[in-house]
A and B are shown apart, each in its own frame.
Chain A
Amino acid sequence: MTSMNQSHALREDLAAAASGLNWPSRKQEAWRRSPVSSIKERFSLKQQNEAAIVSLHEHPPWVGEAWVGHVLKSAPQSEEPCMGQEGAIRLLWLGSSPLVVERLQSAENSAEVTSGGASALSVRERPESVTAILAKLHTRETLRMRVSAGCALELPVELLVTGASAQEQSSGTHFVCEVGAGACLTLVERCVGNISESRSMLLEFHLGEGAQVEHLRESSPADGGYLLSEVEVNVGAGASYRSVLFARQGRYQRHDVTLNLQGEGAKADFASVVVADSDSQAEVQVKVHATAPQTHSSMCHRAVVKDRGDVGFTGTVAVTGSAPGAEAHQSAKALLLNEGAVAFVKPELFIETDEVACSHGATIGALDAAARFYLMSRGLERAVAEALLIRACLLEPLTGRTSPAARWLAALVEAELGGNIDDAVC
């Protein structure tokens, strides 16, 4: 006990000494973060929809609470099915427009749609396997999806969110995903296309014991578009959440991710791949709260910034006293391709127990000249060598991920990088 007291006293002394060094305070650093609180308040989805969600819980089944609209074919055709796998389920969300559920069945792309006015929406991959329930709450919508315990979905579920209507200059979406014990789900989330105004997303995940979720995200608002996205994940004992975010385009994107490792052995891996150019700005903030023993988390952030692009990343790990044996690692790297490009990277660790293994690394800089020379010395032109290095940076978080959904996301990143590499390989 004496030793613990001494240790505690030592920590306090060190903290006091550190505070006297005139390092920037958190408040001083806050200038770097965009002030989005007022915008968030406008949406405030969680608070405003709380009653509705609770009522849904209290009055199952939710017949009469939901309605669906037209089939996919009458929806904007700019977005092709991303996965295109037969049997995959697609949830298409058109801002304030109705939601469409499509099940990709055949080469004709025929759609199985449950439609009608006030009716429940149920999608069943197998009996009791997937249930998607839509609640249309005027301009603020909530979608709740449940994956039954023990259900292993082989095909991904795609959540497609696209533009707000012209009349409605801003729109919010609330998605709740409950994955039962031992269930497996791959969710492909796409915020794309006509997000020319502002849009806010709030996604909640609740992973039961031993559940596994792979969450792949594409965030590509139109030029000038604003997107605020919040993801909150509660990971139960032995459960695993893996996510990769690919963000590009738009005027401003903000992605706040909170990973709550609540059960013993819970695991969460988050990666973000960001490309910012022109005047686009993207910020990613990830917080890991480890509150149970033997948890594991990792963060990997990779960004390429050019022109007057601006990318920020803050990775926060908080290990409470109730989480001995926690392991948390984070790595952040930003490539600046020209003067005027801006990157901000900040790792934060708050550790309140001793038996933990945490690490962090952060680099911001230009392309590695030694690596470029190495590639050129093998015959690659400078432009191709640089393209390869950029590709290497961005694809690193996806290396080793073999699922079709991960490969799809990797292909998106490749496409973003243009044709130099393909020209060199063909």
Chain B
Amino acid sequence: MALLEIDNLVASIGETEVLRGLSLKVEAGEVHAIMGPNGAGKSTLSKIIAGHPDYTVKSGDIRLGGETLLNKSPDERAALGVFLGFQDPVEIPGVNNLYFLRTALNAQRRRRGEAEIDAPSFLRLAKDEAARVGLDAGLIKRALNDGFSGGERKRNEMLQLAVLQPKLAILDEIDSGLDIDALAAVAQNAARLRAEGMSFLLVTHYNRLLDAFPPDIVHVLVGGRIVHSGPAALAKELETSGYHAWSQLEVQSGAAQAPSLHV
């Protein structure tokens, strides 16, 4: 049984259908990359897996470890092991970064029936992980993402990922706004977490993240469906060929049943 299974997912926001029969399987410890043109549904897919309330799933299913996610709230999904690294993490002045993270970790632990982490242990954990992702120790004591640069916010997402230890990490354009050093730190930490068994779903436009953190499989998402999947080298081909051919194919196929391109 795959860790993540998405079966023929159809979802909409308001009257607009954004996913049109998307299917995907991710095994434990695998790294998958989702690439595609703007508006293809990449970020939508990320949010739907995490349980964003603005989207309605009309048909299909999403399962994590064999358990359906569709009837679960975002916090329940998080406790089951879903983590969404936001493309644009929100800033919340007034909420201390560490306070929030410890609250979140203990909330997940309680829901899973695990013992809560005490304050000294948590502080050690958070400081160690912050050092690994290259986040300044002063920042973790500040308000959540308040006044953080784009790169600092992404590093903070990686800190949360490392502390919360989900089964599946969905990173939505984690590479945007990162300088070379920050990208290397993100990739290095992602690789470390992968080695510990974490699975990744990377949403990205660029190869520079995939060069540093190579995926097992690359999927091309066009028009709300995965239209092609292939090895890591596919990302390089896309850089050369673009999505034009796939988009044309999608236009020709119209609203036909999505091809079965499970890997």
Contact = CB atoms under 8 A, between A and B. Distances in A.
Contacts of B108: 379
B50 A377 contact: yes
Interface string A361-374: 00000001111011
Given A373-B74, A374-B86, A399-B143, A380 B93 contact: no
Nearest to B109: A379
A325 B50 CA distance: 50
Contact of B74 (A370, A376, A396): A376
A425 B92 contact: no
Interface residues on A, range: 20 to 34
Contact of B52 (A373, A380, A381, A385): A373
B28 interface: no
B105 interface: yes
B93 to A, nearest CB: 5
Interface in A384-404: 384-385, 388-389, 391-396, 399
Contacts of A388: 92, 95, 100, 103
Contact of B164 (A376, A378, A425): A378
Contacts of A421: 103
Contact of A377 (B84, B99, B103, B111): B84
A370 B75 contact: no
Contacts of B82: 377
Interface string B37-49: 0000000000000
A375 interface: yes
A376 B103 contact: no
A65 B75 CA distance: 65
Contact of B90 (A374, A380, A384): A374
A380 B94 contact: no
B253 interface: no
Given A376-B75, A377-B51, A379-B164, A384 B103 contact: yes
A378 B52 contact: no
A374 B103 CA distance: 14
B131 to A, nearest CB: 21
Interface string B50-73: 111110000000000000000001
Interface residues of B, number: 36
A381 B75 contact: yes
A382 interface: yes
Given A374-B86, A376-B75, A391 B52 contact: no
B90 A368 contact: yes
A424 interface: yes
A392 B92 contact: yes
A425 B73 CA distance: 20
A88 B84 CA distance: 50
Nearest to B92: A392
Contact of B75 (A368, A382, A393, A394): A382
Contacts of B52: 373
Interface string A413-426: 00000000100111
A425 B75 contact: no
Given A373-B74, A376-B74, A378-B78, A396 B89 contact: no
6 contacts: A368-B90, A377-B78, A378-B101, A385-B75, A395-B94, A396-B94
Given A381-B73, A381-B107, 5 more contacts: A371-B90, A376-B73, A379-B104, A379-B108, A391-B94
